[in-house]
Amino acid sequence: MKLIMVRHGQTEINKEGRIQGRSDYPLNKAGIKDAQKAAEVLIKNVKNIDFFISSPSKRAFETTQIILNKYGYNKTINKDPSFYERNFGPYEGKLVADTFPITKNLPGYETNQEIQKRVYDGVMNLYQKYQGYTVLVGCHSHTIKSILVVFAADKYNYNSILLNGAILILDVKEDSIKLIQVLNNTTEPQYYSR
């Protein structure tokens, strides 16, 4: 299965530099442009997308809808809670610059192991349903990173920066996930630091 993971476009909370997590905000004007740009980049690089999946969050669903519309498809977007953003618990709403890297697992904070299991299980469920197809998942920064820290650990960690509208193309097999291409992001991985 070819899996395309797209980070949602910008929201007002992103613009303010705050941790959004499970808080549900729609795209702002810049976020709509981020999604449109992601769609344009995808159209140039991926001829056909068979299935569209989204995190239930407004920002991810709106991003996925914009991409679907740019392709001109009349397809359904299925919402899958496996692809929600990490639950940041008490860190939600805090400034990224003051918080990252997170070093304490406070109550309510979804640990690395928990998000990695949730997202990996979601990817494997998609693989069981859609082997041989191309699937796009509209999702979130830490959702994507939870795959990258395991299968592309030489380049990515949870402090890696994924821009709004970043696109990662992965090859998913029963026993492996391989990062094929990164589009619409920085050319070399960048990281949050204090």
Structure confidence by residue, pLDDT tens digits, 154-168: 888 888 889 999 999
Mean pLDDT of the chain: 93
Q: Which helix (H) or strand (E) holds 2?
A: strand 2-7
pLDDT at position 188: 57
- For the question of residue 8 being annotated catalytic, the response is yes
| 24 touches 8 (CB < 8 A) | no
| Exposure of 1 in the CB half-sphere (CA atoms within 13 A) | 23
pLDDT at position 159: 83
Sign of CA dihedral 36, 41, 47, 53: negative
Task: Write out pLDDT tens, residues 12-47.
Answer: 999 999 999 999 999 999 999 999 999 999 999 999
Tell me the percentage of the chain whose pLDDT exceeds 70. Answer: 95
- Residues 62, 85, 92, 110: which is the catalytic one? 85
**Which CATH number describes the domain made up of 2-183?**
3.40.50.1240
- For the question of residue 85 being annotated catalytic, the response is yes
Domain map of the chain by residue range? Answer: 2-183
Task: Write out pLDDT tens, residues 160-194.
Answer: 889 999 999 999 999 999 999 999 886 555 544 43
**Mean pLDDT across the stretch 98-123?**
91
pLDDT at position 31: 98
pLDDT at position 192: 46
pLDDT at position 187: 53
- Residues 8, 110, 140, 142: which is the catalytic one? 8
Could you give the CA distance from residue 190 to residue 158 in angstroms, rounded to a whole number?
11
Could you give the CA distance from residue 114 to residue 158 in angstroms, rounded to a whole number?
14
